[in-house]
């Protein structure tokens, strides 16, 4: 009986020595929201710079991405985008669905982007009643809040509050 107790004690000690090193995950070891996007075959540029944290339920694909504040910017070609401080939805290979917190201004209307589908080298953005396709090359880099892709070094990477 003493041998079993000693054996269990050795296993317990070994577990404590091995377990912390296998569970230790620092912030630098955690994947970023941008690398998670890439793992589902999306380019990083569908999210602007400035995601401070995120959560993802890998079993359902449910996610939240968090910014310090809302984020607005114009894209070349007349579209204005607005990201709330929290965006959410469901992610799967080549598809984001049930999105909340992302709007695009079309003419004078703000419309919610509810779905994004990657189809080979194109991205399809749906606002429910209609959709628009864009070349994937337009999303290889993340835009910056406030100035999109038209930033110069003198502008800060600040967030722009909007309604």
Which pLDDT tens digit goes with each residue over 111-141? 999 999 999 999 999 999 999 999 999 899 9
Domain count along the chain: 1
- In a domain, residue 14? The reply is no
- In a domain, residue 154? The reply is no
- In a domain, residue 132? The reply is yes
- In a domain, residue 91? The reply is yes
- In a domain, residue 53? The reply is yes
Per residue in 6-50, pLDDT tens? Answer: 333 333 333 333 333 333 333 457 899 999 999 999 999 999 999
Token pair 């070994």 is found at: 14
In sequence order, what are the residues at sequence separation of 6 or more whose Cβ sits closer than 8 angstroms to the Cβ of residue 86? 64, 65, 66, 67, 101
The model carries a pTM of 0.74
Q: What is the CATH number of the domain that holds 117?
A: 2.30.240.10
Q: Residue 95's domain spans which residues?
A: 33-139
């Amino acid at each position: 009986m003493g041998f079993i107790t000693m054996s269990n004690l050795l296993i317990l000690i070994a577990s404590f020595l091995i377990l912390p090193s296998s569970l230790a995950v620092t912030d630098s070891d955690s994947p970023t929201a941008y690398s998670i996007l890439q793992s589902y075959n999306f380019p990083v540029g569908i999210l602007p710079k400035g995601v401070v944290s995120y959560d993802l339920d890998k079993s359902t694909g449910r996610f939240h991405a968090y910014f310090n504040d809302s984020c607005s910017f114009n894209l070349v070609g007349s579209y204005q985008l607005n990201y709330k401080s929290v965006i959410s939805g469901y992610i799967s290979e080549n598809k984001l669905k049930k999105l909340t917190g992302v709007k695009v201004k079309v003419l004078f209307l703000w419309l919610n982007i509810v779905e994004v589908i990657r189809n080979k080298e194109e991205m399809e953005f749906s606002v429910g009643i209609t959709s628009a396709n864009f070349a994937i090359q337009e999303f290889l880099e993340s835009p910056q809040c406030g100035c999109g892709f038209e930033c110069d070094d003198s502008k800060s990477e600040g967030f722009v509050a909007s309604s």
